[in-house]
Copies of this chain bind each other. A is one copy, B any other.
Amino acid sequence: MTAAAVEKRTSKRKKPPSLTRERIRSEALKLIDAEGLEAFSTRKLGAALGCEAMAIYWYYPSKEALLDAVVDELMSRVGRVAAPEATDWVEALREIARAYRGLAHKHPNAFPLIATRRFATEGTFAFLERLFELAQRQGIDDRTTARFFRAVSAYCSGIALNELAARGEEADREVRARFKRVSSVSRWLEPAHFDDLFEFGLGVLLDALARSVR
C-alpha cells in the first residue's frame, strides 16, 4: 500500500483513535510485569501510552475494570496453552494446572490479581466451557467435575502464591534458625524443591480423580 493510499484511507475515516482497549490492556500488563503491582498507576500508564492518564477512562470505567481485563487476557492464555482436545480429563487438568502455575512464574507481579479476583470474565468462561465439555464427553458427572476442578484450581492458586511469597525469604533465615523443627522441615520447602512439591500435591489430587472416574 502506497503512502498516498494510506493517506486517503485515514483521511476518509476522519482519524483513527490512537488508543484501543487492547493496547491499553497490554501496556498495563507490560508495566505491571516491569515495575510491580504497587507501582502501577493510571498516570504512569498514561505516560507509557503517550497520553494523559484520563484518556484511559474513555475505554475503561475504572482502574479496577482495566485490571479485570488484564486478568481476562492472562486466563485466556492458559486456556490456549493447554487446549484440552485429544487427551482425557485427568491429563487435561494436569496440563492446565501446569500452565496456570507457569503463568505465575511468567507474570509474578500480575499473578496475585488472578488469584484474588473473581474468576468470572468472558475469556475465563470460554476456557472453562471447553474444559467442562471434555469432562462430560468422558462421562464425568457435574458434581465430580466441580469438586475436582475446585480442588485443583485452589491448590494451584495457593501453591503459586506460596512460591511467589517465598522470593526474598532468605532475610528470615536467622529468625527461623531459632525453631529447630521448622529449620529441619524447611529444607524440603526451598525453591529447589518447588517443582517436586507442586507435582506431588497435584499427583495426589489427580490420582484420586483417576480412581473416582473408573
Contacts and interface: CB of A to CB of B under 8 A. Distances in A.
Interface of A: 112, 115-122, 125-126, 128-129, 132-133, 135-136, 142-143, 145-147, 149-151, 153-159, 161-162, 164-166, 168-169, 172, 175-176, 178-182, 184-189, 193, 197, 200-201, 204-205, 207-208
A26 to B, nearest CB: 22
A interface majority secondary structure: helix
A47 B122 CA distance: 42
Contacts of A165: 116-119
A169 to B, nearest CB: 5
Contacts of A172: 118, 120-121
Contacts of A153: 158, 162
A136 to B, nearest CB: 6
B200 A147 contact: yes
